[in-house]
Amino acid sequence: MSQPTTPGGGQWGELKHPRANNSQALAILGKIVRYVLLIGLAILFLFPFYIIVRNSLMTQPEITAFDAWQWWPESPQWGNYRNVFEDDAISMATGLRVSALLAIVNLVMQTIFASMAGYALARIPFRGRDIIFFLILLTLMIPGAVTFVPTYVVVSELGGINTLWGIVVPGLFNAFATFLFRQFYLDFPTEIEEAGRLDGNSYFGVYWKLLLPNSLGIMAALGILSFISSWNAFLWPVIVGQSESTRTVQVVLSSYLTAQTIDLTRLFAGAAIGAIPLIIVFLVLQRYIVQGVRMSGIKG
């Protein structure tokens, strides 16, 4: 705020630390530096989004113009977005359908399977329970992406190559989510559960009427994370779903990028179309996503 009248001096009786005024000025300076840094970094982080929007609205010559960078297209080419859907050989519409199916089934089933198993492991007495829990924990040690070769072998034996189930089903069984749900249900007050049992409910009844409604927060958090990661998944969909009817959005976009001649307008409009659903999900449900990320942090 104001400069100290006498350098380093507070007045006698004010009980100020000699450095107080000085450090106040320092604090303000620090604040300014922090905000300058934050704003600069924010621009840097938002820049790729700007590039997607800018290029998706330009003509090819405008994108590739070298010595005349345009910050914004002279006349935005909204038709680029329509053109993405007019390519019949590589259908973006199919891609969106497959990705939506993949992401929604993951959101629902991954969460349900994990919470069911987590509940049983936490609360239902069973002799082999510890062994089963140990087996599930064991799979956490194995890095998921690395096992894609053996999993591909098994799925192809089962006839899952170039089928929708082959893309979707192998990813529905999440051991780590099971572990998190088990932790959550272990902390769930036993009184509520016991009251439910005394009302004559079966284990399923207790789960359905009491535990499920009370775990919607963790379900939303983990469900949305699995929605995002399955929408964005590339390795598994690209090896299992190469046929026209089983390509996800990511596989379609990747085939644009690696085509012989790249149509830049279609590439960027396609990228925008692939990103928009997730940006909406992200902005609307950010609270749950943050919660889910925090939970997955304990994996380390």
Partner 1 sequence: MSASTTDQYQTVKVPWYRRTQAEASLAFILFVAPMIIGLTIFTFIPIVWGALISFSEARNTVSIGDWVGFDNYSAVLGNPEFRQSLRTILVFAVFIVPITFFLSLVLAMLVNSAGFGSAFFRSVFFIPTAISYVIASIVWKMGIFSGSAYGFANMVWYWLDENAPVVAWIGETDPPYYWLVLVTVRLWLQVGFYMILFIAALQEIDQTLYEAAQVDGARLGWHTFWTITFPLLRNTSIAVLMLNFIAAFQAFDEFINILGGVGSVGNISLARPPLVYLYQIAIQQQDYGRGSAGALILTAIIVAVTLIQGRLFGFGSKS
Residue placing its CB nearer to partner 1 in the complex, 154 or 216: 154
Rg (CA), the chain: 27
Residue placing its CB nearer to partner 1 in the complex, 88 or 127: 127
Residue placing its CB nearer to partner 1 in the complex, 78 or 282: 282
Residue placing its CB nearer to partner 1 in the complex, 55 or 91: 55
CB proximity list for 106: less than 8 A, separation 6 or greater: 168, 171, 172, 226, 227, 230
CB proximity list for 108: less than 8 A, separation 6 or greater: 223
Q: To the nearest whole angstrom, how small is the minimum distance from the Cβ of residue 14 to partner 1?
A: 18
Q: To the nearest whole angstrom, how small is the minimum distance from the Cβ of residue 78 to partner 1?
A: 19
Q: To the nearest whole angstrom, how small is the minimum distance from the Cβ of residue 205 to partner 1?
A: 10
Residues recorded for the chain: 300
227/8 Cα distance (integer angstroms)? 58
Amino acid occupying residue 184: F
Q: To the nearest whole angstrom, how small is the minimum distance from the Cβ of residue 84 to partner 1?
A: 13
CB proximity list for 236: less than 8 A, separation 6 or greater: 148, 167, 170, 171
Q: To the nearest whole angstrom, how small is the minimum distance from the Cβ of residue 113 to partner 1?
A: 5
Question: DSSP labels for 264-294?
Answer: HHHHHHHHHHHHHHHHHHHHHHHHHHHHHHH
Q: To the nearest whole angstrom, how small is the minimum distance from the Cβ of residue 178 to partner 1?
A: 6
Residue placing its CB nearer to partner 1 in the complex, 81 or 152: 152
Distance between the two ends of the chain, CA-based, in angstroms? 45
Q: To the nearest whole angstrom, how small is the minimum distance from the Cβ of residue 95 to partner 1?
A: 11
Residue placing its CB nearer to partner 1 in the complex, 9 or 170: 170
Amino acid occupying residue 128: G
Angle at alpha carbon of residue 134, lines to 296 and 193, rounded to 5°: 75
Residue placing its CB nearer to partner 1 in the complex, 3 or 149: 149
Within 13 Å, how many C-alpha atoms sit on residue 59's CB side? 5
Residue placing its CB nearer to partner 1 in the complex, 14 or 157: 157
Tokens of 272: 């925008």
Q: To the nearest whole angstrom, how small is the minimum distance from the Cβ of residue 6 to partner 1?
A: 21
Tokens of 82: 């329509």
